Amino acid sequence: MELMERTFAIIKPDAVERRLTGQVLARIEAAGFTVRAMRLQHLTKAEAEGFYAVHRERPFFGALTDFMSSGPCVLLALEAPNAIAEWRTLMGATDPGKADAGTLRKDFGSSIDRNATHGSDAPETAAFELGYFFRGLELR
């Protein structure tokens, strides 16, 4: 029996605004992920800043948190064997112009800043990000 792993994902405001949520969710399920929790939420600037605190000193921090608080996004807890790596593969490279064909960012992202999706990059990151948005009772 394969060991299941959980990861955190966001369908970002650009994809929600362009009505791509259903297509992204369909691709997530077709790739074998189980959605364990999901919520539509319009992040406040403070919530975005807390979530991306690791990037606080980076030059793109202000623009990133402005964008992530610009409209609703879909927050997801996904489960699958090797979920973190598999979700990152499905998303594709951060820059849609460099992402592989058939990835979410290649198909739905419009720029490195508006790249449709977010995903945890390591088990520690996934634990923090899942806990940031979902209480334990939401993740049974």
pLDDT attached to residue 3: 83
pLDDT attached to residue 67: 97
Which alpha helices (H) appear in 35-122, and where do they start and end? 45-51, 61-68, 83-91, 104-108
42 is annotated as an active-site residue: no
Mean pLDDT, residues 121-140: 88
Q: Tell me the per-residue pLDDT of 22-45, one tens digit each, with 9 for 90 and over.
A: 999 999 999 999 999 999 999 999
Residue of 12, 88, 105, 118 with catalytic role? 118
Mean pLDDT, residues 97-118: 97
pTM of the model as a whole: 0.94
Containing 138, the helix (H) or strand (E) segment is none
Containing 29, the helix (H) or strand (E) segment is helix 21-30
pLDDT attached to residue 135: 82
